[in-house]
Amino acid sequence: MSPSISGYKTLRYRYYRCRSRAFGRPPCEDVGISAFEIEEFVRDTLTSATTSQEFMSVWSHLDKRQQVKALKNVLKEVRFDPQGESISLTLHTDAVERLKRHRN
C-alpha cells in the first residue's frame, strides 16, 4: 500500500491505497484505508508487541502523538497479506537509535 492524499477545498484526507500491479504484483481490489486507522493499528501493535526491552523502554516514554510521528522512522515495512488477512511489521535494525534521536 502507498500513502495518498485527496482533498476538497481546504480539507485534506490522508489514506493508504492498494498498489495494484506495483513491482509485478498481481492486481488487487481498489481499496483504501484511512491513514489514521492504519497508523493507530500499527502504533497499538508496537505498544503491545513483544520486541526488545530496550525498544519498549524508549517507545513507552513517548506520548501517543510522538509515537505516531516516530512510525515513519522506525518502520521499515508494513505488509498486508489479503489471503491470510494479516499485517506484518518489520522494524529497521537500528530502530532503537532512531527512536532515541526522535525523542530528543
Give me the pLDDT at residue 40, please: 85
> pLDDT digits over 47-97, tens only?
777 667 888 888 888 888 888 888 888 888 877 776 777 777 888 889 888
Please give the single-letter amino acid code of residue 66.
Q
Tell me the average pLDDT across 37-53: 79
Are 73 and 99 in contact, with CB atoms under 8 Å apart? yes
Q: CA-CA distance, 83 to 66, in Å (whole number)?
A: 33
Are 99 and 85 in contact, with CB atoms under 8 Å apart? no
Give me the pLDDT at residue 23, please: 64
Residue 21 clears pLDDT 70, i.e. is over it: no
Tell me the average pLDDT across 11-37: 74
> Which of 80 and 45 is assigned the larger pLDDT?
45
Axis crossing angle, helix 35-48 with helix 64-74, rounded to the nearest 10? 90
> Which of 44 and 103 is assigned the larger pLDDT?
44
Q: pTM score, two decimals?
A: 0.63
**Residue 69 neighbours by CB under 8 Å, 6+ apart:** 102
